[in-house]
Copies of this chain bind each other. A is one copy, B any other.
Amino acid sequence: MKTVAILGASGYVGGELLRLLLFHKELEVVKVFSKNYVGKPVHEAHPHLRGFYKNLKFEDLSLDSILKADIVFNALPHLVGMHLTAQLHEHGVTIVDLSADFRLKKAELYKTWYGIEHPYPDLLEKFVYSLPEINRESIKGKKLLSIPGCNSTAAILAIAPLFTTDIVKNELVIADVKVGSSESGRTPYEGSHHPEREGSLRPYSPEGHRHQAEVEMILSELRKTTVNVSLVPHATSAVRGSLASVHVLANKDVSEKDLWIIYARFYRESPFIRIVYSSKIKVPDTKNVVGSNFADISFSKDKTTNRVTGFAAIDNLVKGAAGQAIQALNIALGLREDEGLLIPPLKPS
């Protein structure tokens, strides 16, 4: 049994780590940090968890206290925990970083997408971008795991198999993503005010979202050449869920059956991928993965044009954050990849 500390434990991702780790047989949460809830019990921030973690109280961030755990999950907002992460790394602790702080391998991309000069360019290479379905092997035994963004996860899973082939063009991949309101976190703001958000359909980051750099990085690696990706997310009034529709051009005639073979082969060892093409309704729906670490995936070929689309539906807080973090950690630690994660989705909800 290893011990776990969670930084940013009062947020939504923190809450999901707490919920999911209740099912885990090899990990135990011993420390929770949140500056807004110092001294308060877990259920003050997460009333749904009342009755669980009865002996745990939130603490203010302190290196000493964090280091009492074997493993640190960083669920702090981007940039907030960067220096702390660097310090923790020096102490040799295992870090599972759910922020964007160490996702991109090239420091200059932090200038383009996050507007900062990255202070730890050397650390970038040390972190593994941990998307098990893509690079399971490279995660094994590692102590520095960077967990992909939710939109990136959905977009990459939706289309990755095709970039191991030459059937699609790489000039432009359009990742049109639809997301729920929990994606922007727990702090209220105008765009998340219920009367403003409910029933809303609107794009955001229309000039390209930060996550597109991650998708571009991974697809380019798979294709072994530069792939141009444009990712535009859209706010909807779902609470949970990220649905990526990734549109590409086929450069030759391809059937849906061909696509099925490619997808099925690519994901055949991935316990959380469910290819739903053969269902009554052959497209994924975020409703079917709520609360779980599954990614439901399908694809289509336009009947009159050469457009091919890969679709992936995930729970942004689970497969898009807390669940994927645990999945990656399981692999790093040599545990079963699905330890503590075979929780069935909740539907209807």
Interface residues, chain A, CB within 8 Å of chain B?
12, 15, 19, 22, 43-44, 46-52, 112, 171-172, 174, 176, 178, 180-182, 186-190, 192-204, 206-208, 212, 228-230, 232, 234, 236-243, 245, 247, 249, 274, 276, 279-292, 294, 296, 298, 300-307, 309, 311, 313, 344-349
Contact = CB atoms under 8 A, between A and B. Distances in A.
Given A245-B203, A311-B203, A349-B291, A305 B239 contact: no
Given A19-B344, A304-B208, A287 B194 contact: no
Contacts of A187: 193
A287 to B, nearest CB: 5
B243 A202 contact: yes
Given A182-B195, A201-B241, 8 more contacts: A50-B296, A174-B247, A176-B247, A188-B188, A199-B239, A202-B243, A230-B302, A349-B349
Contacts of A286: 199-202
A236 B283 CA distance: 14
Contact of A46 (B197, B228, B302, B347): B347
Contacts of A47: 276, 279, 281, 285, 288, 347
Given A190-B188, A302-B208, A303-B208, A349 B284 contact: no
Contacts of A172: 249, 305-307
A239 B198 contact: yes
A175 to B, nearest CB: 10
User: Which 5 A-B residue pairings sit nearest by Cβ, starting from the closest?
Assistant: A206-B300, A195-B348, A202-B285, A230-B307, A188-B188
